[in-house]
Structure 1
Amino acid sequence: MKLLSLSLLFFTAVLGKEISNPARQLKYVSGEVHRTIMKNKNTSFDKSRAEGLFNSSTYPKIDTYTPCVDGYAGSGINTTFRCNNIDLRYFVPHVELGSATGEGSSSWGWTSDDGREFIIIGQADGAAFAEVTEDGALDYIGRLPNTKGSDAIIWREIRVLKHYAVIGSEAEYHGVQIFDLKKLIELKPSRDEPCTSPKVFDPETDVTGMFRDLPIGASHNIVINEDFGYAVSVGARPRNSTCASGLIFIDLSDPTNPTSPGCAAQDGYVHDAQCLEYKGPDTKYLGHDICYGYNEDTLTIYDVTDKKNSTIISRTSYEGAQYTHQGALLDTEWQEFLLMDDEYDEYEMSGLAADGFPVTFIWNISSLERPLQTGYYKSDTRSIDHNQYIKNGFSFQSNYGAGLRILDVSSIPEDPTGAGVKEVGFFDVYPEDDAIGGLVDFVGTWSSYGLFESGWIVINTIERGVFVVRMQDNHYGDGWGEDEDGEGTDGENTDGEDDDGEDDYNGQNKISKGW
């Protein structure tokens, strides 16, 4: 699929500094590159299992506020974590969230109409549900196991549309689960009373709907378009299927009967994407349904307004590309820049990441037809970058063994080189690699969710369990993460008196143009 248009490749070679390499490109098209990465990840996971690192019961629960002091939070074996400007409020191992495997992956949040905040935690054998209390603790409410007949596989991705969790897995026969999160409020009507009887939901009778129209029932990732109200399954194997592991659209207008209006197969395998209504400087596309695809070796931008006849607007690679993994728009209300990570350049010691330090690529997308890479930010901690989400000018990055890294990216519109980007806080969830200065391996955190209005940040880890942390200082801007007196929270504020204003937006939030 990626060899359909040589002229397009030559065009983007100029813009993206891509050096034409047909032999390597065939390795992406065939899936060889992705299979190699998955093999390396499974090797890493097997090693962790053999060493007992996935035995989450060995990691003690932490339910007391633990400030970051002199670069560390906590004390003792398995309870001391490197940090800067981020305090630890809570930690719970996967086993106490109902998981028999103790293997974590994705996570996503939901805010109810009355301002209560809930987190959905991806695990190999299902998804756990917990309320993030006002004081930052986790109250475990229940879990939705993996679909009956499917295996427990660590790759589980979760997104939220309105009050529905949309859950996919790399496991064959899993399909996409549609779960009504209002069931959590039925189980726990009051935020003030803890849940005393967590429920294990039935994956057949307790789901609102199931989307089964996938080649073998597996998805690598799930994408939500909140503007137009649909979901997308991406990376649905095999690559030689009709949709070529591209964008498979899922109509959720009737969540009890999800259907697909079509797919976008033109560029083959899509690893991740962000789809939304276009609002930006390229007036030709105003109001169109646009998907920004992270497609293994390219940034591919689609116009998917017509789901039966999607088109590629542009397809651009870049110098040192190894595995284009994921990215996020700087501002969803003014789509001029996006940030992108390459998951494999550190591992392969390629390009700017040849020294094993993660690189965040900055793209100017003022022209959807001619996106330009304008700069980058380079981390000072050895690891692999994985996922990032942006709110109010801050990027919340999950960098495997280096943990959560928060970047102030608000300077990019004024200086798209990235020179003004700075790290304002971090919380390292994998102390096992501290003595060697970081590890370029698939360990630590898979994802984090930092989009709650309260300012609580939830970090899901592969081995241990789930952390709840918070920035010490009010870096987030007016009205976000303040206590009820309007004061910024810091390391001495432990009363949990937060602003619970309603937040019915569960995705990546806009930033003001004033940044």
Structure 2
Amino acid sequence: MKRSIVLLVVILFYFSGCSNDQENPVADDNGIEGEGNQVETAFKPCDNGKAGEYPCEGFDLLGQIPLADFSARAANDIWGWTDVTTGKEYALMGLDNGTAFIDISDTENLIYLGKLPTATVSDTWRDIKVHQDHAFVVADNNSGDDAHGMQVFDLTRLRDVANPPQTFDADAHYTGLGRAHNIVINEDTGFAYVVGTNRGDAFQGGAHFIDIQDPKNPVPVGGYGASGYSHDAQVVTYNGPDTDYTGSEIYIGANETNVIIADVTDKDNPVEISSLSYGNRAYTHQGWFTEDQRYFILGDELDEINFGTNTRTLVFDFTDLDNPVLHTEYTGPVSAIDHNGYVKGDEYYLANYTAGIRVLDISGIDAKSIVQAGFFDTFPTSNTAGFNGVWSVYPYFESGKIIVSDINRGLFVVKKSNS
């Protein structure tokens, strides 16, 4: 009972505290409004454990744009887009009051091209994904079921920005839902899965299925709510070891108290395959498949606070989707909270709040061997369990650039040293 009360108090504190950020200026890590924005943007190599003022191991700072330059109080999610026509690379960063678009092609001259303002009030949570050269943006703005919806923005417009920064408008605005915590896109099939919506809607805050094959004309095609509210998810066209589901569209939801696996191939008849839980569960937050789709790497956002552990990362064996099992756990060197994590090859890129980004070598995952391969700490004064620092990380540019959104300090562009 005590544990349940503590969990409830922590969750209420976290969500109410994050909401208060909408009304109060974001303080930096020293508690002084704005000081955290005074950051040089020049290249800083990781030398003797520091890149300028930032602790690091194996990652150089290529460039940084402070939060103040975006006229925002807080940053949140981040995603990337590569224009295959021009070869240019762009960061798409969520802010409390909109979405910022940054040309990162020349890291000596990062260009803030402009902002797509929020469709409604400012909000702590915003999420962005990309399909067919369009950005899809949702926000969890706590202002009613008919609030933000999903904005669609044609990213090819970024080719022709003459006088940045500009204020952009959306190319389409889908209003078939209101608030949403996250959006997931399976680019293989052209379907978006919007999750974390109003718990009282038709899908209980689960997944809304939206056909975005024609990006500017999104069409609702049902949803899945049998397993309850999904905080985050990943959806893949399955090609993993369980041949019973080869070619199926598989949904893995981080559903606050458990992980659920569902077959959503038939949009009219989605079916739960299995669900799982684990010890010392506090808030089942977000996870990502390894590239062979055998393992699912999960972060629990509140276990570090509730149980006093260092950063904990759980690895589940999904060889049999009908019977997933816990494979191993990795415990990091600091007590910072884990947030979003993504796999690229044999590495797992973890947004670790006050500990910055932590990169884990998962090449030995079969043998339950996971080690820290490097890090870049955008929040240099503390590694304690708190909700400051890095929100998310995007490691998928072919150039090797990694973009990082820091709640307090804005955009960072980093890269492996000597790469």
* TM-score of the pair, normalised by structure 1: 0.76
- Contact 1:176/1:211 (CA < 8 Å) preserved in 2? yes
Identify the residue that residue 162 of structure 1 maps to in structure 2: 132
User: Secondary structure of the equivalent of 2:363?
Assistant: coil
Residue deviations 1:405-454 (CA, integer Å, cap 9, x gap): 11111221x31x2xx21111111111232xxxx21110101011111111
1:455-494 equivalences under 5 Å are 455-473=400-418, 489=419
What is the distance in 2 between the residues matched to 1:458 and 1:55?
24
The structure, 1 or 2, with the larger RCO (C-alpha pairs under 8 Å, 6+ apart) is: 1
What is the distance in 2 between the residues matched to 1:32 and 1:245?
22
1:12-91 equivalences under 5 Å are 35=12, 37-42=14-19, 49=26, 55-56=33-34, 59-74=37-52, 80-91=53-64
- Contact 1:302/1:312 (CA < 8 Å) preserved in 2? yes
Identify the residue that residue 73 of structure 2 maps to in structure 1: 102
Shift of 1:134: 4.0
Letter of the structure 1 residue corresponding to residue 130 of structure 2: V
Identify the residue that residue 509 of structure 1 maps to in structure 2: none
Shift of 1:83: 1.0
1:3-402 equivalences under 5 Å are 35=12, 37-42=14-19, 49=26, 55-56=33-34, 59-74=37-52, 80-97=53-70, 99=71, 101-114=72-85, 115-135=87-107, 137-147=109-119, 150-171=120-141, 172=143, 173-187=147-161, 196-202=163-169, 207-214=170-177, 217-237=178-198, 239-331=199-291, 334-349=292-307, 354-355=308-309, 357-402=310-355
- Contact 1:127/1:145 (CA < 8 Å) preserved in 2? yes
- 255-264 vs 289-298, which deviates more? 255-264
User: Secondary structure of the equivalent of 1:348?
Assistant: helix
Shift of 1:49: 3.5
Q: Structure 2: give runs of 5+ residues left out of the alignment.
A: none
Letter of the structure 1 residue corresponding to residue 226 of structure 2: Q
What is the distance in 2 between the residues matched to 1:460 and 1:37?
19
The answer to which structure has the higher strand fraction is 2
Shift in CA distance, 50/287, structure 1 to aligned 2, threshold 3 Å: closer
What is the distance in 2 between the residues matched to 1:380 and 1:45?
32
Residue deviations 1:142-182 (CA, integer Å, cap 9, x gap): 110011xx110120111111201010001231111011100
- Contact 2:133/2:156 (CA < 8 Å) preserved in 1? yes
Letter of the structure 2 residue corresponding to residue 133 of structure 1: S
Letter of the structure 2 residue corresponding to residue 384 of structure 1: I
Identify the residue that residue 425 of structure 1 maps to in structure 2: 374
Residue deviations 1:220-245 (CA, integer Å, cap 9, x gap): 111111111111110101x1222100
Q: Structure 1: give runs of 5+ residues left out of the alignment.
A: 1-20, 75-79, 188-194, 474-488, 490-515
What is the distance in 1 between the residues matched to 2:55 and 2:219?
46
Q: How many residues align?
A: 412
User: Secondary structure of the equivalent of 1:39?
Assistant: helix
* TM-score of the pair, normalised by structure 2: 0.92
- Contact 1:53/1:464 (CA < 8 Å) preserved in 2? no
Structure 1 consecutive aligned stretches of length 4 or more whose deviation exceeds 6 Å = 43-48
Shift in CA distance, 45/342, structure 1 to aligned 2, threshold 3 Å: farther
Letter of the structure 1 residue corresponding to residue 16 of structure 2: K
What is the distance in 2 between the residues matched to 1:50 and 1:119?
24
Shift of 1:56: 4.4
What is the distance in 2 between the residues matched to 1:141 and 1:177?
18
What is the distance in 1 between the residues matched to 2:63 and 2:156?
24
Shift in CA distance, 360/312, structure 1 to aligned 2, threshold 3 Å: same
Shift of 1:62: 2.0
What is the distance in 1 between the residues matched to 2:343 and 2:48?
27
